[in-house]
Amino acid sequence: MSELIPSFDFQAVFIVPWQEDFQGYFLIATMGFLISLSCGLIGNFIMLRRMALIGDAISHSVLPGLAVALFLSKSLATTAMFIGALVAGILTTVLIELIHQNSRVKPDAAIGIVFTSLFALGVILINVYAGEVHLDTECVLYGEIAFIPFEPLIDIGGREWFPGSVLRMGGVTLLVILGIVLFYKELLVTSFDPGLSVSLGISTRTTHYLLMGLLSLVIVSAFQSVGAILVIAMLILPGATASMLCSRLPAILWLTAGLCLPATLAGIHLSIWLDCSMAGAMVIASAVFFILAWLFSPRRGLLQQLIQKVRLPEVHNLTLDNSQE
Amino acid sequence: MAATFRIVFVLALVSGFFPQVLEAAKIGDVTETRVIEQMFRFLSLKDPSVRATVIGTTLLGICCGLLGPFIVVRRLALVGDTLSHAVLPGVAMGFLWNMEKDPLAIFIGASLAGLIGACAVNLIKQTTHLKEDSALGMVLATFFAVGICMMTMIQRLPTGNKSGIDKYLFGQAAAMNQEDLILLSVVTTVVLLLVFLFYKEFLVTSFDAGFARSIGFPVNLIHYLLMLLLAFSVVVSLQAVGVVLVSAMLITPAAAAYLLTDRMHRMLILSVLFGVVAGVGGAFLSFLSNNLPTGPFMVLSATAVFLAAFFFSPRRGLIPRWWRQRSQTQRICRENILKAIYHILEAGEFEEEGVTFSELSIRRNEDLLEVRPQILDLEKADFVTVSKSENRIYFTPDGWQTACSIVRNHRLWELYLTNAVHYAADHVHDDAEKIEHVLEEETVRQLEKQLNYERRDPHGKPIPTFADIEKGLPTARQSRPATGYMSKS
């Protein structure tokens, strides 16, 4: 066991990495922050609409899209991969709808069938064309965020700043924020009360597909860094933590954004300490935040519930005493 | 059903207690890659490692196929998915137990992790405002993250035999060794026995939990028993299918069976069959080339079975349904034209025996160009004859009988709606227009009886009776044998 978990040394875990390779860790932290910010923000709306598992399905099914795009374009050309994955993501939602509308198979089973099939197809494609496609099945599962510093940097204004993937993620994050700011009212109304939104003249369908498109975009761009399965955690955990602490949507969104940076940094240091997968450690850090909120949230935490359960008989007795008098 | 169970049971026992037939040479060691040769090697079953793979995947298909239907009808499909991802930290823990791939330690660790995951989902659902889908996704991804971190930590360990641990992600049926097979057959036997013994309990709680509770079944206990079995079967399947895709082996064969039958026991048998087909088929396909993961091929085989059921299931398949709908539309269209001809004849008080094309086109409010192909279609189906010289359309006996019964159904229904259901007389037409095509003879007789064999509909028109329909066209009875009508009969 002692081999597995290295001894904790504050200096080595928190200070040395930044002194040695500031730029590398800065890039990783930026990427992690951007991914969890865009995922977390959009994840709030996904959760409100009870579509968390559609996100799961999309994140698995972008794989064949990536593989086909890579195979066709014979290069890591980002545009081709983006388009391939986006098409696969949208195809997933369409297929799920198709199966569940044209047969008695329930939506949950339809989701299960579609994403496993597409994911299997992707894994096979990658294995068969292993020589030609520069994509590793293991990385598909847990991402390669740690390799970001080794990507070539792109010139902006005469200085080399960020690699392409970080810039792209930044663009997607901006798009998500812009989308939420511009269509806030629409997203809010359609999430909580589809009936009202129809009577207000807001198309639930358009909003739904807008959100799905945005979701696919986010998942596709986060896919390479954090892998298929961990994206779901990025989508759900920050929003869930925030919603344990407050209940108004704007507050939840701000809190989600605020939680992203500490979770990312905690994840990075956890992975430095344990020398394990960085994306996995970021998810674990977010999960720890959620568990803390779950236990100690002043509004709806487990502890609070327990206190109330203990107090309830007291209050009850008190009112009984009052009524007897 | 009992016979099937018995056979499977014996199979499980045989492979469990006589594992020496399954010597565990690794297929992965073999370097030849010629597809045909590999195919023969697999199909001839001479190779002990091939035999091991086949028996392993068959057992896996049985195990998952038996539990799948309960998962699908209880709408727990994604719980299965969550469970299968949540076992990963348990796999890593089991590996750490004595630093090698020890199936029993991994089995225990993974089952525990799976159950903890299932309980965590329940706990989150009960104590927070988060919905089930969020809880599932959260537990799935968090457990998986823990597992991934532990796996990467194990990978960098200097000691221990790490080979085979990475196969848990995508599965390698060929990597199954003797102990894996024993474990698999034991679990399959347990699942078989429990499903067989508690079939009634599983059935009732799956479809009507309230009823089950009311007759004293321990519903929660049965739910957790199912979860336990699910965790077991997921864990033993891991080696062959892999963590990521094992849920497909639970869901897809069962969903395919669900499309084919309405009876639970038939669904179980079909699902087992599909599971075995998918398992062995996947092993076969992945065997054709070197070092391909088995899991994805199994999943795609299962998907192929599902798609076949989705498109061609006799009752629910997309294509039979489309075909039925098409022929129904065609029938209704034909019947409407026959009815229109009847109305024209009736308006002329059956003086004429045939109608002209222009009369029909005016009645149907359609162009002559539209009417002509419809009539030709009717002629082909032997409902009418067309006299080219007079340009007239005549009923055949079949045509007359169909037209007559449609008109009768229509008017009888209108009468029923006004007299028995008290609709206003001007509101009944549209409803009758739809029901006329689907009323069956028995219903018609009941309606006639209930309406005291009334002969006039609410609008004062006569309702043809069974006797009228038998007798044939009134004019044909009275006057000379008519050209078109009689010539056919």
Burial B152-190 (b: 16+ CB within 10 A, else e): bbbeeeeeeebebbebbbbbbbbbbbeebbbbbbbbbbb
Q: State whether B252 and A113 contact (CB < 8 Å).
A: yes
Q: How confident is the model at residue B20 (pLDDT cuts 50, 70, 90)?
A: very low
**How close, in Å, is residue A254 to chain B by CA atoms?**
19
Which residue from A120, A274, A305 is facing B149, i.e. has the nearest CB?
A274
Q: Which of A206-210, B21-25, B117-121 has the largest mean confidence?
A: B117-121
Cβ-defined contact of A113 to B245 (cutoff 8 Å): no
pLDDT value at position B238? 82
Tell me, yes or no, whether B202 and B289 share the same domain.
Answer: yes
Q: What's the CATH number where B463 sits?
A: 1.10.10.10
Please tell me whether residue B26 adopts helix, strand or coil conformation: coil
| Interatomic CA distance for residues A62 and B262, integer angstroms | 35
Q: What is the pLDDT of residue A213?
A: 83
Domain final residue pick, B314, B332, B361: B314
Asked whether residue B51 falls in the same domain as residue B135, the answer is yes
Could you say which residues from 101 to 130 on chain A have a Cβ atom under 8 Å away from some Cβ of chain B?
A: 102-106, 108-109, 111-113, 116-117, 119-121, 123-124, 127-128
DSSP string, B31-69: ----HHHHHHHHHH--SHHHHHHHHHHHHHHHHHHHHHH
- For residues B275 and B128, membership in a common domain is answered with yes
CB contact under 8 A, B138 and A302: no
Residues 294-313 of B with CB under 8 A from A: 295-297, 299-300, 303, 306, 310
What's the domain range around B201? 2-314
CA B275/CA B269 separation, integer angstroms: 10
With the C-alpha atoms ordered B362, B364, B370, B372, is the resulting torsion angle positive or negative? Answer: negative
Name the residue among B72, B148, B295 with its Cβ closest to that of A141: B148
CB–CB contact A230 B141 (8 Å): yes
Q: What is the mean pLDDT of residues A6-31?
A: 80
pLDDT tens by residue, B122-146: 899 888 888 888 999 999 999 999 9
Instruction: Name the least confident of A20-29, A70-79, A86-95, B228-237.
Output: A70-79
pLDDT for residue B291:
66
The pLDDT tens digits for B195-224 are 999 999 899 998 888 899 999 888 888 988
- Residue by residue, DSSP assigns A234-283 as HHHHHHHHHHHH--SHHHHHHHHHHHHHHHHHHHHHHHHHHT--HHHHHH
Same domain? B129 vs B18: yes
When comparing pLDDT for A114 and A209, which is higher? A114
Give the minimum alpha-carbon distance from A274 to chain B in angstroms, rounded to a whole number. 7
Give the residue on A whose Cα is nearest the Cα of B99: A1
Of residues B141, B251, B296, nearest to A232 (C-beta) = B141
CB neighbour class for B465 (10 Å; exposed up to 12, middle 13-18, buried from 19): middle
Residue B274 has pLDDT above 70, yes or no: yes
pLDDT at A55: 85
The per-residue pLDDT for B27 is 43
List CB contacts (< 8 A) between B172 and chain A.
Answer: none
CATH code: domain of residue B11: 1.10.3470.10
Taking residues B453-468, what's their average pLDDT? 80
For chain A, the structural domain boundaries read 10-148+164-324
Range A62-84 average pLDDT: 77
* Nearest chain A CA: its distance from B193 CA (Å): 26
pLDDT at A45 over 50: yes
Name chain A contacts of B296, Cβ cutoff 8 Å: 119-121, 123-124, 127
- Structure confidence at residue A135 (pLDDT): 61
B32: CB partners within 8 A, 6+ apart: B38
* pLDDT tens-place string over residues B393-432: 888 888 888 888 888 888 888 888 888 888 888 888 888 8
Count CB-CB contacts under 10 A for residue A10.
Answer: 10
The beta-carbon neighbor of B153 closest among A50, A235, A274 is A274
Cβ contact (<8 Å) for B259 and A104?
yes
- How does the average pLDDT of chain B come out, rounded? 82
Nearest CB to A50 within list B76, B131, B254: B131
Q: Which of A15-29, B166-180, B281-295, B329-343 has the lowest mean pLDDT?
A: B166-180
Pairs across A and B, CB distance < 8 A: 204
Give A260 to chain B, closest Cα distance, Å.
16
Torsional sign, CA A161, A167, A173, A175: positive
Chain segment B351-375, per-residue pLDDT in tens: 777 888 888 888 888 888 888 888 8
Which chain A residue shows the shortest CA-CA distance from B147? A280
Predicted local confidence at residue B26, as pLDDT: 40
Q: Inform me whether the C-beta atom of residue B94 falls under 8 Å from chain A C-beta atoms.
A: no
Nearest CA to A142 out of A227, A203, A79 is that of A227
Predicted pLDDT of residue B31: 46
Which stretch of A242-246, A250-254, A272-276 has the lowest confidence by average pLDDT? A272-276
Residue contact B133–A103, C-beta within 8 A: no
- Choose the weakest-confidence range: A132-141, B9-18, B304-313: B9-18
Q: Judge: A112–B158 Cβ closer than 8 Å, yes or no.
A: no
Q: Does B69 touch chain A (CB under 8 A)?
A: no
Are B391 and B244 part of one and the same domain?
no
Of B370, B367, B303, B362, the residue nearest B333 (C-alpha)? B370
- Measured between CB atoms, which of B77, B128, B244 is closest to A112? B77
Cβ separation A244–B295 shorter than 8 A: no
Per the structure, the count of domains in chain B is 2
**pLDDT above 60 (res B480):** no
Question: Mean pLDDT over residues B189-194, rounded?
Answer: 94
B308 and B323 part of one domain: no
Q: Which two tokens stand for residue A22?
A: 């500031």
In degrees rounded to 5, what are phi and psi of residue B356? Answer: -90, 165
A194 and chain B in contact, CB less than 8 A: no
Closest CA of chain A from B373, distance in Å: 32
- Which residues of chain A are within 8 Å of residue B252 when distances are taken between CB atoms? 112-113, 116-117
Cβ of A124 within 8 Å of Cβ of B292? The answer is: yes
- Which residues on A lie below 8 Å from B140 (Cβ)? 56, 229, 232
Kindly state whether A169 is in contact with chain B, defined as any CB-CB distance less than 8 angstroms.
no
Residue B384, number of CB atoms within 10 A of its CB: 29
The whole-angstrom distance between A120's CA and the closest CA on chain B is: 4
Query: Who among A112, A276, A287 is closest to B153 (CB)?
Result: A276
Tell me which of B279, B294, B314 is where a domain ends.
Answer: B314
Biggest CA pair distance of chain B: 107
Q: Element (H or E) spanning B97, and its range?
A: helix B88-98
Tell which of B247, B282, B314 closes a domain.
B314
- Residue B25, pLDDT score: 38
Return the pLDDT at A283. Answer: 92
Both B428 and B283 in one domain: the answer is: no
User: Which CATH code of 1.10.3470.10, 2.40.110.10, 3.90.79.10, 3.30.930.10 fits the domain covering A10-148+164-324?
Assistant: 1.10.3470.10
Picking from B70, B74, B148 by the largest number of A CB atoms within 10 A of its own CB, the best residue to mutate is B148
A284 CB near a chain B CB, below 8 Å? yes
Task: Give the percent of chain B with pLDDT over 90.
Answer: 21
Q: Are residues A300 and B128, on separate chains, in Cβ contact within 8 Å?
A: yes
The highest-confidence range among A66-75, B32-41, B258-267, by mean pLDDT, is B258-267
CB of B255 less than 8 A from some CB of A: yes
Interface test with B, best of A117, A145, A231 (most B CBs within 10 A): A117
pLDDT in tens, B64-77: 999 999 999 988 88
Position B7 pLDDT exceeds 90: no
Pairwise CA distance, residues A152 & B84, whole Å:
38
pLDDT at A176: 93
CB-based contact, A283 to chain B, within 8 Å: yes
What pLDDT is attached to residue B29?
41
Q: Which residue has the higher pLDDT, A180 or A83?
A: A180
Summarize the confidence of residues B101-115 as an average pLDDT. 86
Note whether A279 contacts B: Cβ–Cβ < 8 A: yes
**In this structure, are B169 and B63 located in the same domain?**
yes
Contact A287 B145 (CB under 8 A): yes
B371-390 tens-digit pLDDT = 888 888 888 888 888 887 77
Predicted local confidence at residue B309, as pLDDT: 93
User: Which of A58, A88, A52 lies closest to A70 in space, CA to CA?
Assistant: A88
A124 and B251 in contact by Cβ < 8 A?
Answer: no
Please give the residue of chain B at the shortest CA–CA distance from A118. B300
Specify the pLDDT at position A256: 94
* Residues B260 and B299 reside in one and the same domain: yes
What pLDDT score does A130 carry? 63
